[in-house]
Structure formats: C-alpha cells, structure tokens
Amino acid sequence: MTTTAPVADARALGRAHYAARGVLEHFLALHGLTFQQQLTLRAALTADVPRTPDDLVGQIRGDVKADPADIRAAIDVLLDRRLLVADGAHLRPTEAGRELTAAVGAQTAPVTARIWGGIPAEDLAAAGRVLALVTERADAELAALTE
C-alpha cells in the first residue's frame, strides 16, 4: 500500500503555525506574556543596535502583519513590567527581560527538539525554500492590496 505525502497548502501551513504557536503560548502564559509581547521583546533582544519604538513596530508589523496599535500596546506592557527600558529614544532589554526570554527558551527547548527532531535536513531545506517563496509572494500581494 502506498501513501501519498500531503500537499503543502495554506491550510497545512496555518495548521502547523498554530500548532507550534499553541505550544509556545502555553509556556508564555506561565510567565504572563503574550505572543506579541514575546515577539517584541525578542526583536529588541536580538537587534544589532538599540531600536526605537517605531523600529520595533515596523519590524513586528513586517514579520506578523500585526496592527501597529497592538504592537505599541505590547511595548507599553514590556516597559511597565520593566522587561524593556527607555534609553533616550531607544528601547533596551533589561536583565529581567533577558532572564524571562532565557527561561521561556529553556522550557520550550525540549518540546521544540521533539517537534523538529528526526526531520531529515533535506526536507527542512526544501520546506524552508518553499516557505520563503510563499512569504515573499504573500508579502508582495499584501503590499499591492494596501497601496
């Protein structure tokens, strides 16, 4: 008996995204953090240079197409919780922000390893190429729709 591999399509992509996001959100909730707050904090932590609030809004909006007002609200929560701190016009992660990100990373690492473990490198490379192309095309279509 032969089985055909499922075809990658928008539904399969969405299901994979939300399944993985659900796992992450479980651990974020343990720390009182939302997905958007985590994205914003991680963007500040991984930036090569300190970012302004507008820089972070632009990056997160570009990455997940979120409403700028929601991203600004996430920044406000991170500032209120002292996970980010204003340094002039820039935002910098605090030690508490670094520790929280590290704690979530440590909690999710074994689950992530089980989810991704054993997938052949060539399959991951092929999926990466397809996802990059889908992202590029969808970004172009969204840009055309919002011009």
- Judge whether 76 lies within some domain: yes
Mapping DSSP to helix (H, G, I), strand (E, B) and coil, where does residue 113 land?
Answer: helix
Neighbours of 32 (CB within 10 A): 10
- The total number of structural domains that make up the chain: 2
Percentage with pLDDT > 70 across the chain: 98
* Residue 127 shares a structural domain with residue 147: yes
Average pLDDT over residues 88-93: 96
Q: Which domain holds residue 112?
A: 11-116
pLDDT reported for residue 61: 94
d(CA 90, CA 78): 14
Side chain identity at 3, as an amino acid letter?
T
Q: For residue range 95-133, list pLDDT tens digits in order.
A: 999 999 999 999 999 999 999 999 999 999 999 999 999
d(CA 127, CA 108): 22
CB 53, CB 72: distance < 8 Å: yes
Q: Is the pLDDT of residue 27 over 90?
A: yes
Give the tokens for residue 15.
């299901």
Q: Is the pLDDT of residue 3 over 80?
A: no
Percentage with pLDDT > 90 across the chain: 93
* Residue 68 shares a structural domain with residue 84: yes
For CA atoms 59, 15, 116, 130, the dihedral sign is negative
pLDDT reported for residue 146: 87
* Residue 40 shares a structural domain with residue 69: yes
